[in-house]
Chain A
Amino acid sequence: MYAQMIKSEATADDPDKLKAFQARIDAGEKIEPKDWMPEGYRKTLIRQIGQHAHSEIVGQLPEGNWITRAPTLERKAILLAKVQDEAGHGLYLYCAAETLGVSRDEMTRMLLDGRMKYSSIFNYPTLTWADMGAVGWLVDGAAIMNQVPLQRTSYGPYARAMIRICKEESFHQRQGFDIMMKMANGTPAQRRMAQDALNRFWYPSLMMFGPSDKDSVHSTQSMRWRIKINTNDELRQKFVDQTVPQAEYLGLTVPDETLAWNEEKGGYDFAEPDWAEFYGVLKGNGPCNTDRIAARQKAWDDGTWVRDGLMAHAAKRKAAKAAAQ
């Protein structure tokens, strides 16, 4: 899940309008940009879609880290295409957020100065080629769990962006698992690499769903607005149930000694991740927070003259056209 800990905004609107709005959502209608919406709905969505967009863009970095070191020409092309898709997904999401009255540049500034967040998972480093497998398999796998239901979210532009994203994303997890299969069936060094990648990415992947939200008011409000479809715990359980057999297929060991099938609930019992670590990462104390933001800041700063140059040229061209008419 690329949107974590989204605090829903309080709303102080006309109760009749609120009631009518809720009725539209309950009836499964889509809310569109020009429709009336509660201020809290709008603000919560900006925060959620913005965080999702930033996650895609920052998420390019840990995988981009291996594009120049991909071991075959085909792997290089696949990885590059995948990371490029993430840029595209960031773009679709920024555009969806922009329909709510916030510009992309404004959202970028909020990312850079820390007012907006991105998913905690991208603050972990990618150290070996097996991490490209683990990220695709686990991180994209966890993201898909969240994104598939969001295709039915109440805000039209967000839902449409998610539909496009899900369609494109279907190959991402598969390419990750494909790498894992090659590694798990490869040389002893490759097997070790694969196990090491699973060890490092297992708990951070579980954290992607956010802490248990049974008692969270924000979740309740977001679910009523249909901008959150499932609870964090539901999705986490689903992810574990889906992933454990895949790890077994690979012959890898999930780094959780308490992991056991629970016949009664029809799912696995598993250990919770270290939530203190999670909150630490959110606060900026993950292994890569500083590097990630520094990289985005540098890209933004280095790109300023380019964006300004393109705009200046466009203005000159427009003026010349107008003068010619």
Chain B
Amino acid sequence: MTTEMPLWEVFIRGQHGMSHRHVGSLHAADAETALLNARDVYTRRNEGVSIWVVPAAQITASSPSEKGPYFEPANDKVYRHPTFFDIPDEVGPM
């Protein structure tokens, strides 16, 4: 075989209205076949109601060396989380 079948990343949305989630990869000659293969490989146990396939080569990922600058600045923004605020019990649910 001269050319290998390209790799695809598979994203599936489950039953309960959650976002599409990356579940794994597979090989297929084209997008149409990738979708069929994804159905056969990744929904054997009734895992999904919607499938996306994306050519693996088309994914742009953040670089591990930028992990610090990318993600650490969010560490100290604790006020973004509801538990930061103390609300008296008598106020009721909030």
Q: Which A residues fall within an 8 A CB radius of B?
A: 32, 34-36, 81, 84-85, 88, 91-92, 95, 98, 103-105, 160-161, 164, 168, 304, 307-308, 310-311, 313-314, 317-318
Contact = CB atoms under 8 A, between A and B. Distances in A.
Contacts of B64: 32, 34-36
A304 B1 contact: yes
A38 to B, nearest CB: 15
Given A91-B41, A161-B24, 4 more contacts: A34-B61, A160-B24, A164-B24, A308-B1
Contact of A307 (B1, B24, B61): B1
Closest 8 CB pairs of A and B: A314-B30, A314-B29, A310-B29, A95-B25, A35-B64, A105-B4, A311-B29, A34-B64
Nearest to B8: A95
A314 B33 contact: yes
Contact of A84 (B24, B44, B63): B44
Interface of B: 1-5, 7, 23-27, 29-30, 33, 41, 44-45, 61, 63-64
A106 to B, nearest CB: 9
B26 A95 contact: yes
A314 B3 CA distance: 12
Contacts of A88: 41, 44
Nearest to B63: A34
Nearest to B23: A164
A85 to B, nearest CB: 8
Interface of B is mostly: loop
Nearest to B26: A91
Nearest to A81: B44
A103 B6 CA distance: 10
A160 B61 CA distance: 18
Contacts of B61: 34
Given A35-B64, A314-B33, A317-B30, A103 B4 contact: yes
Given A98-B7, A307-B5, A311-B3, A168 B45 contact: yes
Nearest to B64: A35
Contacts of A318: 30
Given A36-B64, A104-B27, A311 B5 contact: yes
A183 B61 CA distance: 53
A208 B24 CA distance: 28
B3, B33, B45 pick with most chain A CB within 10 angstroms: B3
Contact of A310 (B5, B25, B44, B45): B5
Given A84-B44, A168-B45, A104 B4 contact: yes
